[in-house]
Amino acid sequence: MELLAIFISAILINNFVLHYFLGICPFLGVSKKIDSAVSMGLAVTFVMTITAVVSWIINHWILIPKKLEYLQIVSFILVIASLVQLVEMFIRKASPPLYQALGIYLPLITTNCAIMGLALLAVLKEYKFLETVIFGFGSGIGFTLAIVLMAGIREQLELADVPEPLKGAGISLIVAGIMALAFTGFSGMIK
């Protein structure tokens, strides 16, 4: 039950993009087409889940026993950077068109603050191993949900008659704001 609560909370209530406002860069950058938004979401989900696992292991098996907690950020960066490299290599091999579609945003997952935020938040919330895994996976799904919703809206926006000064980034940010507002409706669902 506890795990389910963490999962749902990570997706809807404490959504990384719409609640914490982390990971805005790919959220705005790759949300022009639903297809690439889905793949971006899945790539981030993968990196988030594995990051959660590996960072938990490093934190609990190495850093805490040696009283080196102050190295958390550095070692998490190491984990994230290596994982993203791995994902990049894998996607490049497995699906060149997807590699093309994600473009510069794929290596930029490295600097995606949502992932760093996830690793640090998991420490802050003192999650146990399984909880951390669920938290990581749920956050990834939450990111995917947000970016796919955004892509769906932006595909429609292409057809809309947007006032000249708001075209492009302006209307995207407004939409993102309204989405975040809508997601506050979920707050309080789980204590």
Partner 1 sequence: MTNILWPIITMGALGLLFSIGLVLAYKKLRVEEDPRVVKISEVLPQANCGACGYSGCRAFAEAVVKGEASPNGCPVGGGEASEQIADILGVKVEDTAKKVARVLCRGSLEAAKDRGFYTGISTCAAAHLIGGNKQCSFGCLGFGDCARACPFDAIEMGKDGLPVISEEKCTACGICVEECPRDIIELYPVSQDILVFCRSRDKAALSRKFCKNACIACGICVRACPEGIILEDNLAKIADYSKIKEEHIPAIEKCPTKAIGRISQE
What residue ranges bind partner 1 (CB under 8 A)? 58, 62-63, 66, 68, 71, 74-75, 78-79, 82, 85-86, 89-90, 92-93, 96, 100, 103-104, 161
Residue 1 or 94 having the CB closest to partner 1: 94
Residue 75 or 111 having the CB closest to partner 1: 75
Radius of gyration of the chain (CA): 17
Closest distance of CB 185 from partner 1, Å = 32
Residue 60 or 92 having the CB closest to partner 1: 92
List, in order, residues 6 or more apart from 148 with CB less than 8 Å away: 34, 37, 38, 41
Cα 179 to Cα 45, 62, 176, 188: the distances in Å are 20, 40, 5, 17
Residue 66 or 191 having the CB closest to partner 1: 66
Closest distance of CB 191 from partner 1, Å = 37
Closest distance of CB 104 from partner 1, Å = 7
Closest distance of CB 78 from partner 1, Å = 6
Q: What is the DSSP string of 36-56?
A: HHHHHHHHHHHHHHHHHHHHH
CA 87 to CA 47: how far, in whole Å? Answer: 8
- Residue entry with tokens 């407004």: 174
